[in-house]
Chain A
Amino acid sequence: MINPPFPSSDPKCPPSHLRDESRFQGVQAELKTPADHRALAELAVKSLERGQPMTFQGARTGLCGGCVPLAGQAVSLTLLDRPISLEETPEGFELRVQPGYDLASLGRDLSRRRFDFISAKVKAETLSAFRSRPYFWPPDPGERTATIGGLASTRAAGPGAHRYGSVAEHIAGLNFLMADGQERSVRRGRHFFRNGRMLLPGGQELAVDPSRLGLSEEADLLDLLIGSQGMYGLITSLDLKLAPAPAHVWALVFFLDSEEKAAALADVFLAEPLSPLVSLDYLDEASLKMVLSLRKTASKLLEIPPPPLGAAAAVLLEFHSNDESEIESAAAKALAGCQKVGGDPDQSWALTDAEAEKMRIVRHAVPEGLGGRLDQIRAKGYPVFNVASDFTRPGPSLTRCLAEYRRDLKAQNLEAVIFGHAKDNNLHVNILTENVSQTKRALELMADWLGRARETGGKLFQEHGVGKLKRELFAQAEKKETVDAWRTVKKTLDPHALFNPQNMLAD
């Protein structure tokens, strides 16, 4: 996790393309920015013929160095940033987009119900049916500048995963450029495992036990490609499943004066599910302080009051429903829950509809603030990274899980910023280190936690992926047969190791 912060001296690639939000530093690479789909396909085919490695880049907001090149070319997809077409299928509307189209543009276009399509073939009746009511794309990862290609490649998930799952559940298919230079359409259920074998679109066979990859027997190629961090090929377009937007959205924030009360409150909501609940998140005191310190510079936060004095943690909920009275009764139950754990109902926020965005801004400020803090430490000369957890730990209550983390951190004399999703204890424990010895202890602790999570059926490297930053942790935490299974997939789909070399698996 320590990587020298040498800036690029290569004029072919600006320094900003040699890093991502993890601050992992790449080495010389040639930057290619194809302007359209044809230029991209030509570039990829030529590179494959010449044996030149490619590292694909979306918005470079990844947190594991996945898009950071260590050799060959950095292929930026940010100019392929438009919606392609809209279709009405029996399951609903599908929006086809280029990989560089970002989450903010998608949100804007959906809310104004107008798209700047590349294709002129979108039927007028499809568009008018689409405009008859509002639609949304349910996954809500916090970073709005992230591209859809990047989100699919990391299998990103937002707080709404509580109800809606990750991006994987909301992608109907994608076009994929494979190692033979051919672009193929991959749709749900078309290529699937049978007795540990899958017939791939090019005709080859992939022989691997899906359970070793953490996939179910029913898993298909789409499940394998979403979250693959660009290791098996290039995503050239994606079909997003749109869903009717809920008529009412409420965001509730409870501020509690102790971590114990906040964790107990989240446990109350987990034990007695509230029907319109779509997300349940937790922010600890260090996270709230991060929000407070970012208020000095982030203009969006200036419109939002600071957390109340004395707040030691917060529990964040979001409700979606077409029936506002259903939300109101859930909010009343939530309020009763707050009183039950000894919280002060006046120390809360209720934000409705467009105002609910304010809660997302607060939550997003925490990882953003962490990035800023990393820069401060790195400016002092210590090339540190954020040692952060990204796994589920089903089983124990949030109260117990948090208490364990605090106990372990204290034993190692380490500090952390803890925030994340309460369901299955999918918390991001961000250990802040400022010297080599702290980093070493933090990595050991993380490996220990990953091991415990794996033993209890947790999913490791859930939302952010492994990339290059967490390769060693991945190799340490996963069983050997799992790592070998992933190697088999890589060898079958990318035999010459030209797609995103060094991601997840060290050469």
Chain B
Amino acid sequence: MTKTDLIDQNRPCRLPEEFIILDLRLAVCLKQVPSGQSGETDPRKGFVLRSGPGRLNPFDGSAIELAMSLKDRFGASVDLISMGPKQAEQTLLEALCLGPDRAFLISDPALVGSDSLATARALALTLSLLGPYDLVVCGLTTIDGGTSQVPPSLSRLLGWPFAGRLCKVVGLNEKELHFQQRYQDELLEATLPLPGVVSTLRESFTPRLPSIKAKLAPKKVTVLSALDLARSPLLANQESLRTETVDVAQAEGFSFGRSGGGPAKKTEPPADPAEFDPALYFGEKGSPTKIQAIRKPKPPNRVTVRPTAAEAAAVILEAVKAVKS
């Protein structure tokens, strides 16, 4: 459905309540995944090896659709944000054909091999750098990593509430999003205070297809490096981006609702970010990987004042080097 289907711009009329223009700022986090059926993984480190052409993670198509349908209905700007290799730019260019306003790619050799927490941190830094945003929309999971951890981790890092498995938007205003979410056979209705983070059910929002006009229009992706992220205001509250996956193993079973994927509730920012335990933030599907031990690095110097860009970049680079190794 396009905006013109809903609002006849040639006819002066009072817009019905639900079509009030809110001018919200929305961000969609998305990922490029390998084009093939299954991505090869590094047997030692467990992360996906990327080569050849990529495509948009199919779950993220529904996230873009939700954001675009809110833009159509309520008026909003939509930014796309992705972290990945340089070739992910192609996926962002294609996603821009669906109508979002801007696209950003966080791409830095230092970030290769990031796990879900490092990814969430990089995304959180970017969101606070480019924001403020009212709503961040993510796909439920990815077809390659499949952890479902990034969206709830992101909410925790940003200190915003999270709602997972959205299947319908019931209403929206500047302060809150009224939505339905589905857990197996259960349909829940709840309200998410804004700003917030949501993940979408793939089957509930069929992605639109690009128009020929949009396909032919010039498009641009802004590439951000780790150094750029160092300017993020969020960094003032973060000591390190460092995570170290000591071991990765198949989990024996999943449990629902352990994470922020349950009905939305306001989460507090971590009192001490160094104590942040990702095991608490498994996705709503449960995590297929179990992090058996988290080696918590002793924070370097506690950052009490906002660092300069160069200082922060050094911290980030040191942290991501640890992730790589």
Contacts and interface: CB of A to CB of B under 8 A. Distances in A.
B280 interface: no
Interface in A292-311: 302-305, 308-309
B201 to A, nearest CB: 12
B211 A346 contact: yes
Contact of A349 (B1, B35, B206, B210): B210
A331 B215 contact: yes
A438 interface: no
Interface in B76-125: 94, 97
A142 interface: no
Interface in A333-387: 334-335, 338, 345-352, 354-355, 358
A302 B212 contact: no
A349 B5 contact: no
Contacts of B203: 302
A335 B216 contact: yes
B212 A349 contact: yes
A345 B212 contact: yes
Contacts of B213: 335, 345-346, 348
A328 interface: yes
A474 to B, nearest CB: 41
A77 interface: no
Contacts of A349: 209-212
Given A308-B5, A309-B1, A335-B216, A302 B206 contact: yes
Contacts of B306: none
B212 A350 contact: yes
Contacts of A334: 212
B215 A352 contact: yes
A242 interface: no
Contacts of A348: 211-213
A447 to B, nearest CB: 41
Interface string A268-307: 0000000000000000000000000000000000111100
Interface residues of B, number: 20
A497 interface: no
A331 B216 CA distance: 8
A304 B206 contact: yes
B64 to A, nearest CB: 12
Contact of B211 (A302, A304, A309, A350): A350
Q: Which of B97, B203, B207, B212 has the most CB of A within 10 A?
A: B212
Interface in B209-232: 209-216
B198 to A, nearest CB: 21
B35 A304 contact: no
A303 B212 CA distance: 19
A305 B72 CA distance: 16
A201 to B, nearest CB: 44
A6 B226 CA distance: 72
Contacts of B35: 354
B209 A332 contact: no
A252 interface: yes
Nearest to A351: B209
Contact of A332 (B97, B206, B214, B216): B216
A146 B173 CA distance: 53
A438 B200 CA distance: 49
A305 B55 CA distance: 19
B212 A252 contact: yes
B5 A335 contact: no
Interface in A239-288: 252, 254
B4 interface: yes
Interface in B136-157: none
Contacts of A351: 209-210
A304 B209 contact: yes
A305 B211 contact: no
A331 B211 CA distance: 11
Nearest to A303: B206
Nearest to A317: B212
Given A350-B97, A354-B35, A354-B55, A305 B212 contact: no
A167 to B, nearest CB: 28
A350 B206 contact: no
Contact of A350 (B4, B5, B207, B215): B215
Contacts of A252: 212
Given A346-B2, A354-B55, A305 B215 contact: no
Contacts of B97: 350
A164 to B, nearest CB: 23
B7 to A, nearest CB: 13
5 contacts: A305-B208, A305-B209, A308-B1, A332-B216, A350-B210
Given A305-B209, A345-B213, 15 more contacts: A303-B206, A303-B207, A305-B207, A335-B213, A335-B216, A338-B212, A345-B211, A345-B212, A346-B2, A348-B211, A348-B212, A349-B209, A350-B214, A351-B209, A352-B94
List of 7 A-B pairs having minimum Cβ-Cβ separation, nearest first: A350-B215, A349-B209, A350-B212, A348-B212, A345-B213, A348-B211, A305-B206
